[in-house]
C-alpha cells in the first residue's frame, strides 16, 4: 500500500480537520517518570508541528463548534502541579490557550485515585493564575470516580458539585472531561443536565461533525511520543484500524 500524503490523510476524515490532544503531567523523566507525562520540549514540538502547518489552537470549549476547521485544542487532565510549573511556560512561549481539567475535591492535594500515587495537584490560586493567563479551567468531577461505577444521579452530582466549587473559587468552567474517559449510555445526558454543552472522552479519533458534542474524542499523548509518535497516532494508526 502506497502511503498517501499527510494532506490526504486529513482530508479523508469527512473534512473534519480538528482534533484534541490530551496530556496530564509535564516534566522530565527523572522527576515525573514516563507514565502520563511528557517532557516540556515534546509538548513544544507537538504544538509547534500544528502551528507550522497553519492550524489554529482553540480552547476546548470552541473546538466542537460548527464551522471550526483546521484547529486543535490542547487539554491537560487532573491539574498536576508539574503541568502548571512546566507546561504553562511552553504555552505562554507559543502564545496558545489550553484547558486544564480540575478535580474539585482534590485541588491543592494529591492525585489519590486509581493508578496514581498522590502526585501533587495545583491549588486554587495557581488555577486562578492560569485562568488569568488565558487558560480555561474545566470540570473533571468532584472526586474522579469512574462513571461506570455511578448511577444517573451520581454522575450528575459529581459534575454539579465540581461546577459549583469551581465557580465559588472564581473559575469559569465551560467544558467537562470524563475521568478515565469512562462513560455510560446516560453520561451525555448527565453532562447536559449539569449544564455543559461540551465534554470529552479519550477515544482516539479526530473530531467529526457526527460526534455527540458531550462525548468528543481526544488523542492521549505519552512520554514516548516524540513527533513521529504523534504522527503515527494521528495519521497512520486510524488508517490501519480502518477508521473514517
3-state secondary structure 180-238: HHCCCCCHHHHHHHCCCCCEECCCCCCCCCCCCHHHECCEECCCCCCHHHHHHHHHHHH
Q: How far is the CB of 113 from Zn ion (least distance, A)?
A: 8
Q: Which of 142, 51, 140, 121 has its CA nearest to residue 90?
A: 51
Q: How far is the CB of 83 from Zn ion (least distance, A)?
A: 12
Question: Do the beta carbons of residue 149 and residue 184 sit within 8 Å?
Answer: no
Q: Which of 145, 153, 146, 144 has its CA nearest to residue 186?
A: 153
| Residue that has been written with the C-alpha cell 488555577 in this structure | 127
Q: Which stretch binds Zn ion (CB under 5 A): 25-33, 69-77, 122-130, 167-175?
A: 69-77
78 binds Zn ion (CB under 5 A): yes
225 binds Zn ion (CB under 5 A): no
Q: How far is the CB of 35 from Zn ion (least distance, A)?
A: 13
Closer CB to Zn ion, 77 or 158, in the complex: 77
Closer CB to Zn ion, 78 or 136, in the complex: 78
Closer CB to Zn ion, 62 or 78, in the complex: 78
Q: How far is the CB of 190 from Zn ion (least distance, A)?
A: 17
Kindly state the number of chain residues that form the binding site for Zn ion, as judged by CB under 5 A.
Answer: 2
Give the chain's largest Cα–Cα span. Answer: 56
Q: Which stretch binds Zn ion (CB under 5 A): 29-37, 51-59, 70-78, 235-243?
A: 70-78
Query: How far out from the chain centre does Cα 166 lie?
Result: 18
77 binds Zn ion (CB under 5 A): yes
Site residues (vs Zn ion, CB under 5 A): 77-78
Amino acid at each position: 500500500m502506497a502511503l498517501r500524503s499527510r494532506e490526504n490523510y486529513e482530508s479523508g476524515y469527512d473534512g473534519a480537520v480538528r482534533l484534541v490532544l490530551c496530556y496530564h503531567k509535564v516534566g522530565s523523566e527523572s522527576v515525573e517518570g514516563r507514565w502520563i507525562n511528557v517532557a516540556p520540549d515534546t509538548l513544544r514540538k507537538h504544538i509547534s508541528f500544528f502551528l507550522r502547518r497553519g492550524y489554529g489552537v482553540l480552547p476546548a470549549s470552541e473546538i466542537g463548534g460548527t464551522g471550526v476547521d483546521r484547529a486543535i485544542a490542547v487539554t491537560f487532565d487532573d491539574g498536576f502541579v508539574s503541568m502548571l510549573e512546566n507546561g504553562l511556560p511552553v504555552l505562554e512561549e507559543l502564545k496558545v490557550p489550553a484547558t486544564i481539567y480540575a478535580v474539585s475535591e482534590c485541588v491543592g492535594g494529591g492525585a489519590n485515585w486509581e493508578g496514581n500515587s498522590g502526585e501533587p495537584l495545583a491549588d486554587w490560586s495557581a488555577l486562578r493564575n492560569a485562568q488569568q493567563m488565558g487558560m480555561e479551567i474545566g470540570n473533571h468531577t468532584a472526586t474522579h470516580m469512574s462513571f461506570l461505577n455511578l448511577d444517573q444521579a451520581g454522575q450528575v452530582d459529581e459534575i454539579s458539585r465540581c461546577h459549583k466549587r469551581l465557580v465559588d473559587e472564581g473559575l469559569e468552567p465551560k467544558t467537562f472531561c470524563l475521568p478515565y474517559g469512562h462513560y455510560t449510555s446516560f453520561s451525555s445526558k448527565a453532562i447536559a443536565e449539569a449544564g455543559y454543552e461540551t465534554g470529552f472522552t479519550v477515544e482516539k479519533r479526530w473530531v467529526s461533525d457526527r460526534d455527540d458534542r458531550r462525548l468528543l474524542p481526544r488523542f492521549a499523548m505519552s512520554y514516548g511520543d516524540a513527533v513521529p509518535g504523534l504522527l503515527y497516532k494521528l495519521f497512520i494508526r486510524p488508517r490501519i484500524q480502518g477508521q473514517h
